[in-house]
Amino acid sequence: MAKVNEKKKDFFWLSYSDLMTSLFFVMLVLFVLVYSMQNKIIKELTVAKIELDRIREIEKTVNNIDKRFFTYDSLNKKHILNVQFLFATGSANLNRIKPDRRPELVEAGKAIRDLILTFPEEENIKYLVVVEGQASKDNWEGNDKLSYYRAQSLIELWEENNIGLDDLKNCEIVIAGSGEKGIPRDEPDRPPANQRFLITIVPKIGEIGSSSNQLKINEIEE
């Protein structure tokens, strides 16, 4: 009888030992798994922060474009080209605006070009530049189309003066006309109010390509 009890005890301790060994192995696997996942999450969060800081840096640069020519409307996320002039009713011809502000409009185009050139093309940062024409409520029936043609005339003025936005690989130009409906609008809404251009500059950011940020990512991976 004593031998039977001893065998039972031996079996119990062997089973207990196997169970503890198995539990230890399971805990070890779980620890390694949790540690690996934690490191992966930390790495992803760190990379995301680098990207977010980069986006904020670029947006700050865009919003601080040359204030001699642009006023940033933070509510509507647009740059108001604050060069004041008056189109003749029904006209989209910049050669006939009063007073003649074409030299200032050319300088404004150069300011946009300089902004885009702030970040090299190899950093994979592209810009969408929307040039939007507006029109005041002057009882002209074709103001919607007219505002588009006015925006087009600004692009043509820049092309004639070799601003070269179309030649930049990281810049896409969109011409738009919002007529009497675009926002923001100044009151009272009559000439020359709202006979102007709104510029929307949208940075489109792909993979981070700068050497400093890439070095930080490599350090995290190591």
Band (pLDDT 50/70/90 cuts) for residue 206 is: low
DSSP secondary structure letter of residue 166: G
State the pLDDT at residue 216.
47
State the pLDDT at residue 215.
43
Contact 147, 195 (CB under 8 A): no
Band (pLDDT 50/70/90 cuts) for residue 16 is: low
Torsion-angle region of 90 (φ positive above 0: left; ψ -120 to 50: alpha; else: beta): left
* Gyration radius of the chain over CA positions: 32
- What would the DSSP string read from start to end of 93-107? -GGG-BS--HHHHHH
Own/partner long-range contacts of 2-11 (Cβ < 8 Å, ≥24 apart): none
Stretch 167-172: mean pLDDT, rounded? Answer: 88
Show the domains of the chain with their CATH numbers: 1-222 (3.30.1330.60)
The phi, psi pair for 21, rounded to 5°, reads -65, -45
In the chain the first and final C-alpha atoms are separated, in Å, by 63
What would the pLDDT profile of 87-117 be if each residue is shown by its tens digit? 888 889 999 898 999 999 999 999 999 988 8
State the pLDDT at residue 131.
94
Q: Looking at per-residue confidence, does 151 or 170 come out higher?
A: 151
Exposure string of 121-146, with b = 16+ CB inside 10 Å and e = fewer, is: eebebbbebbbbbbbbebebeebbeb
Measured distance CA(213)–CA(208) in Å, rounded: 7
pLDDT above 60 (res 86): yes
State the pLDDT at residue 162.
94
Number of neighbouring beta carbons within 10 Å of residue 153: 21
Strands 125-134 and 171-179: parallel
